[in-house]
Amino acid sequence: MPELWVIVQNALKAKVAIPAFNVPYLPMIEPVIRAVVDRNSFALIETARLEWFKFEAGGPEAVAKEFFRWQVPDHVRLHLDHVPVIDEDGQRVDYLDIIRQAIGLGYHSVMVDGSRLSLDENIAATRQVADSARKAGIPCEAELGAVLGHEAAPLPPYDELLASGQGFTKVAEARRFVAESGCDWLSVAIGNIHGAISEGYKGQKKIAARLNLEHLENLSQTVSVPLVLHGGSGIPREYVLASFKRGIAKINIGTEIRQAYESTLQSTGKISAAQETVYERTSWLIGEYFDLGNIQSMVTQQVL
């Protein structure tokens, strides 16, 4: 099987995206993998630092243990999502130690999130992680711009956010960032938002975020790396599919399957029932919503 660099580059070339599913509860891992395999797709299972503290994923070791129990390497790999330099609560994080631990545990790719830093600081932090990842033979994802939603405070009115371009990744900064940081994939802000994680908002229906596709195209034409769309849940389908044609080669999905798991567990009290709901939702997202069924052979070919 080819390395993830090749797989994501193949997705970019084919104008599809690798779906990446966040798993804030360990029992979600098996049904997500089963859905990916049954849909003959390829996906990443991913865990973010906030999911260890705000939910019940446990930590990078617990997620890795459960992933490797169920892994099907022809169809899934393990990604370390959002390890922030400054977290959603404004606290400094020992990000290098966390990322090096994940590399040691066998994660297939890692992400450092320096988006709350100045441009120069973000470049420097990403450079450190990219160097460590490259030595381990795995890709490094980074973020530039502000994909909002994880903060405790409510978002500003969404239409204002989109119209103003608040937090959008700047084209000139993206060019410099990719050239100097050494990142392999770049998470961009183009109108997408994360699902809320604060106690008062995390169960609410996510805003149907729209995307500034012209801005995305400008970014894609400017940088030399595949782009990543965070906050993929709830974005109207036409925007998502159009983004795949304009440089998005990885799309993160969390809220859609998390809320499905939580609501079924709450109503039935049965983890097995919640798992089946996650399986059904994941299968629908892959096949019907994102049109990413039957991409396995397309993205895993050895030659670009």
Q: Is 81 a catalytic residue?
A: yes
Domain of 33: which CATH number? 3.20.20.70
Q: Residue 44 half-sphere exposure, CB side, CA atoms within 13 Å?
A: 31
Could you tell me if residue 69 is inside a domain? yes
Based on the number of CB atoms within 10 Å of its own CB, is 270 exposed (0-12), middle (13-18) or buried (19 or more)?
exposed
Could you tell me if residue 38 is inside a domain? yes
pLDDT in tens, 19-77: 999 999 999 999 999 999 999 999 999 999 999 998 999 999 999 999 999 999 999 99
Could you tell me if residue 101 is inside a domain? yes
Triad 47, 51, 52: Cα angle to 5°: 100
Residue 274: pLDDT band (50, 70, 90) is very high
Residue 195: pLDDT band (50, 70, 90) is low
Total number of domains constituting the chain: 1
Which one is predicted more confidently, 190 or 206?
190
Q: How far is CA 226 from the centre of its chain?
A: 13
Closest C-alpha among 54, 43, 24 to residue 257 = 24
Q: How far is CA 187 from the centre of its chain?
A: 8
Residue 304 confidence (pLDDT) above 50: no
- Write the DSSP symbol of residue 247: T
Residue 280 confidence (pLDDT) above 80: yes
Could you tell me if residue 122 is inside a domain? yes
Could you tell me if residue 304 is inside a domain? no
Cβ contacts of 174 within 8 Å, gap of 6 or more? 144, 186, 188, 219, 222, 223
Please give the Cα distance from 110 to 108 (Å, whole number): 7
pLDDT in tens, 104-124: 999 999 999 999 999 999 999
Q: Which of 38, 74, 81, 120 is catalytic?
A: 81
pTM: predicted TM-score of the whole model, two decimal places: 0.92
Residue 185: pLDDT band (50, 70, 90) is very high
Residues spanned by the domain of 247 = 4-299
Q: What is the pLDDT of residue 9?
A: 96
